[in-house]
A and B are shown apart, each in its own frame.
Chain A
């Protein structure tokens, strides 16, 4: 890694981050329109070729017809309707392949030309592996379509799938920022912000996981009231399922309650962090990171509330995308404080210098 920073390599990884965001856009859109089970084949290399003949279409439609989703939810579906579901899901998968190429080819070239060292190359290979695991996990998630009685993506698959995507994005973003600016800048009197940002990032990821459960269980359709849930703080039917732990994955009431509580906790924590950051003696640029953080978290809470009250999945979709931006802004703010020092250490350093 170059001590003065490598803009090209850093920007390449930022491009990958943007592409992961695009993947979330595609996947979220496919889920919102109910297309999650539309592509029921797994051909990692040749799957980019779409069905070209009527027979190929019929084969794919035939696979879909074996699912409980088709039999129980869409028994009258025509081929044209199937195609309308197929394309968004297909494009999301192609996007994943493109991303793999955009990641792997420059990685090989940079490594071969010695622009990146072995350590960094191995780390990036590990990230590539995580991306491959994400893809395999996605396929197993889709394959649940063939289980009798399963009519939507199971929450226990969707949430880990989304969380892993967020972890990959976070690692990629951190790596990109570090490559662009390898040496931490010493910032006096800002060390107290770091644990707050760590907590914020942890809580955001946790809330995102809970949000994925809300999306997967379609919990947006119930308890469309705020702040109470149909007049109660803890909703009716909180422990309706057995065994008890199942409620935290598959019970709409419980899952929505969890997401509300976690989101409120996250919003409060992130806002406190942002206010502390804005009041700390940072440079104007350092302050901007916290301003953006405050903006995204406020918007996120309002979007979540609005999605719930209006029961509009489209707003929920925007809420999902904004969650990714919120996480990215928190990670960026945390990265800018790698060199943060306690106020006392800064004074001591000044004395040493003079």
Chain B
């Protein structure tokens, strides 16, 4: 009995040693960063589905059997017949033929398949790392939780899509779109942060950087708020109006800002107000982030921390330019890049925060 316990402890000790070895840490971190990259791409694919108005084309939710697309003409007709029952078809696409339906089916199908692939790319190594003792003890429940949340995101996606089938709706509701996007971003950033912690678990002390960390946290907060506002802009299609910059049809504040009652509804449902909010928040984010970046680059920091601030500065500038460009050009593909870049910007800010973990 005692020897068994001893052997068990011994095995546990070997496993802990293996989990903590630098080579293993790099391996686990690489897996997490690959998952992160795949989620960023997923955000792009999701944006493409939205741009193509393809989100409502698959009216079934079959997590496993949905892998198989319609293979026969009859199967296609069944899928198409389902689509024909919803208002989007009747009001927007009454003349759509089967070829037109296939064109909106495939983007949504690929979006869902990418999600399944992500489940495998995240899940399979998770099991293998777990069984071979490559995961530190404290990481195991956390990573399992992330996996479950990833599955939940699929369900949230379906919850969003199903809102578009309701009578009187031709697109999904902005609230659920926002939920789906924000959930994705949170998951993505959680995976990214975990990867950083796995790579370098012990923070190095950074003297006199507390104030800088506070600035980074402020940047992250205002960026997150802007992202939420951006999801409502996207959900209400508010990019279709006021395609001017810096003014909105000659006005600093659009005259129909308070068109809806009660007043708070303007922030979520009034295109002009939603766009104005995102412009204002975007500008605030750019300013606060740039101040943070300048402060970070001018401070006495380790080279890696400075790189994090550089990345943050580059991405925030790119983000602003992409946002303005989307608005004035109405090229939705640029908006898609803007959506993906928002995630990268938040990740860069988290990286800067990570480098300042040891701030004193």
* Chain A residues whose CB sits within 8 angstroms of the CB of B324 once the complex forms: 302, 305-306, 309
Contact string against B for A residues 249-286, beta-carbon threshold 8 Å, 1 for contact and 0 otherwise: 00000000000000000000001000100110000100
Question: Who on chain B is nearest to A295 by CB?
Answer: B294
Contact A225 B298 (CB under 8 A): no
Question: Who on chain A is nearest to B317 by CB?
Answer: A298
The answer to the question of A163 belonging to the interface, with a C-beta cut-off of 8 Å to chain B, is no
Contact B321 A291 (CB under 8 A): no
The answer to the question of A227 belonging to the interface, with a C-beta cut-off of 8 Å to chain B, is yes
The answer to the question of A301 belonging to the interface, with a C-beta cut-off of 8 Å to chain B, is yes
The answer to the question of A123 belonging to the interface, with a C-beta cut-off of 8 Å to chain B, is no
The answer to the question of B329 belonging to the interface, with a C-beta cut-off of 8 Å to chain A, is yes
Contact A226 B325 (CB under 8 A): yes
What CA separation (Å) do A140 and B162 show in the bound complex? 72
What CA separation (Å) do A226 and B331 show in the bound complex? 10
The answer to whether residues A302 and B321 also contact, given A227-B329, A228-B329, A288-B298 and a CB cut-off of 8 A, is yes
Q: Quick one: which of A287, A298, A305, A310 has the most chain B CB within 10 A?
A: A298
What CA separation (Å) do A228 and B326 show in the bound complex? 12
* Chain B residues whose CB sits within 8 angstroms of the CB of A275 once the complex forms: 310, 314
Contact B306 A226 (CB under 8 A): no
The answer to the question of B313 belonging to the interface, with a C-beta cut-off of 8 Å to chain A, is yes
What CA separation (Å) do A163 and B314 show in the bound complex? 30
* Chain B residues whose CB sits within 8 angstroms of the CB of A298 once the complex forms: 317
Partner of B297, one of A225, A226, A287, A306: A287
* Chain A residues whose CB sits within 8 angstroms of the CB of B244 once the complex forms: 309-310
The answer to the question of A145 belonging to the interface, with a C-beta cut-off of 8 Å to chain B, is no
Contact A305 B321 (CB under 8 A): yes
Contact string against A for B residues 269-304, beta-carbon threshold 8 Å, 1 for contact and 0 otherwise: 000000000000000000000000010011010010
Question: Who on chain A is nearest to B334 by CB?
Answer: A227
Partner of B298, one of A226, A227, A291: A291
Partner of B306, one of A225, A279, A310: A279
Which residues of B60-86 have CB atoms within 8 Å of chain A's CB atoms?
none
Contact A279 B320 (CB under 8 A): no
* Chain A residues whose CB sits within 8 angstroms of the CB of B247 once the complex forms: 310
A contact residues, range: 20 to 34
The answer to the question of B170 belonging to the interface, with a C-beta cut-off of 8 Å to chain A, is no
Contact A278 B245 (CB under 8 A): no
* Chain A residues whose CB sits within 8 angstroms of the CB of B328 once the complex forms: 225-226, 309
The answer to the question of B136 belonging to the interface, with a C-beta cut-off of 8 Å to chain A, is no
* Chain A residues whose CB sits within 8 angstroms of the CB of B246 once the complex forms: 306, 310
The answer to the question of A205 belonging to the interface, with a C-beta cut-off of 8 Å to chain B, is no
Contact string against A for B residues 315-341, beta-carbon threshold 8 Å, 1 for contact and 0 otherwise: 001001100110011010000000000
Contact B317 A284 (CB under 8 A): no
The answer to the question of B53 belonging to the interface, with a C-beta cut-off of 8 Å to chain A, is no
* Chain B residues whose CB sits within 8 angstroms of the CB of A208 once the complex forms: none
* Chain A residues whose CB sits within 8 angstroms of the CB of B307 once the complex forms: 279
Contact B306 A278 (CB under 8 A): yes
Question: Who on chain B is nearest to A315 by CB?
Answer: B246
Contact B245 A310 (CB under 8 A): yes
Contact A294 B329 (CB under 8 A): no
Contact string against B for A residues 298-313, beta-carbon threshold 8 Å, 1 for contact and 0 otherwise: 1001100110011000
Which residues of B123-166 have CB atoms within 8 Å of chain A's CB atoms?
none
Contact A291 B294 (CB under 8 A): yes
What CA separation (Å) do A305 and B306 show in the bound complex? 29
What CA separation (Å) do A107 and B300 show in the bound complex? 42
* Chain A residues whose CB sits within 8 angstroms of the CB of B325 once the complex forms: 226-227, 305
* Chain A residues whose CB sits within 8 angstroms of the CB of B294 once the complex forms: 291, 295
* Chain B residues whose CB sits within 8 angstroms of the CB of A306 once the complex forms: 245-246, 324
Q: Quick one: which of B246, B294, B314, B317 has the most chain A CB within 10 A?
A: B317
Tell me, rounded to whole Å, the shortest Cβ–Cβ distance linking B197 to chain A. Answer: 24
What CA separation (Å) do A291 and B314 show in the bound complex? 12
The answer to whether residues A279 and B303 also contact, given A291-B294, A305-B324 and a CB cut-off of 8 A, is yes
* Chain B residues whose CB sits within 8 angstroms of the CB of A294 once the complex forms: 313
* Chain A residues whose CB sits within 8 angstroms of the CB of B321 once the complex forms: 301-302, 305
Contact string against A for B residues 216-234, beta-carbon threshold 8 Å, 1 for contact and 0 otherwise: 0000000000000000000
Question: Who on chain A is nearest to B299 by CB?
Answer: A284
What CA separation (Å) do A309 and B328 show in the bound complex? 8
The answer to whether residues A226 and B329 also contact, given A287-B298, A291-B294 and a CB cut-off of 8 A, is yes
Contact B310 A284 (CB under 8 A): no
Question: Who on chain B is nearest to A285 by CB?
Answer: B298
What CA separation (Å) do A310 and B321 show in the bound complex? 15
What CA separation (Å) do A284 and B301 show in the bound complex? 10
Q: Quick one: which of B246, B247, B314, B328 has the most chain A CB within 10 A?
A: B328
Contact A284 B329 (CB under 8 A): no
Q: Quick one: which of B244, B245, B307, B320 has the most chain A CB within 10 A?
A: B245
* Chain B residues whose CB sits within 8 angstroms of the CB of A310 once the complex forms: 244-247
What CA separation (Å) do A74 and B328 show in the bound complex? 34
What CA separation (Å) do A225 and B334 show in the bound complex? 14
Contact A278 B329 (CB under 8 A): no
* Chain B residues whose CB sits within 8 angstroms of the CB of A305 once the complex forms: 321, 324-325
Contact string against B for A residues 224-250, beta-carbon threshold 8 Å, 1 for contact and 0 otherwise: 011110000000000000000000000
- Spell out A's residues near B (CB within 8 Å): 225-228, 271, 275, 278-279, 284, 287-288, 291, 294-295, 298, 301-302, 305-306, 309-310
Q: 15 A–B contact pairs at CB < 8 A? A: A226-B328, A275-B310, A278-B297, A278-B310, A279-B303, A279-B307, A291-B294, A291-B297, A291-B298, A302-B321, A305-B321, A305-B325, A306-B246, A309-B328, A310-B246
Nearest 5 CB-CB pairings of A with B: A309-B328, A298-B317, A309-B245, A291-B297, A278-B297
Q: Apart from A287-B297, A294-B313, A305-B325, what are 12 other A-B pairs with CB-CB below 8 Å?
A: A226-B329, A278-B306, A278-B310, A279-B303, A279-B307, A288-B298, A291-B297, A298-B317, A305-B324, A306-B246, A309-B244, A309-B328
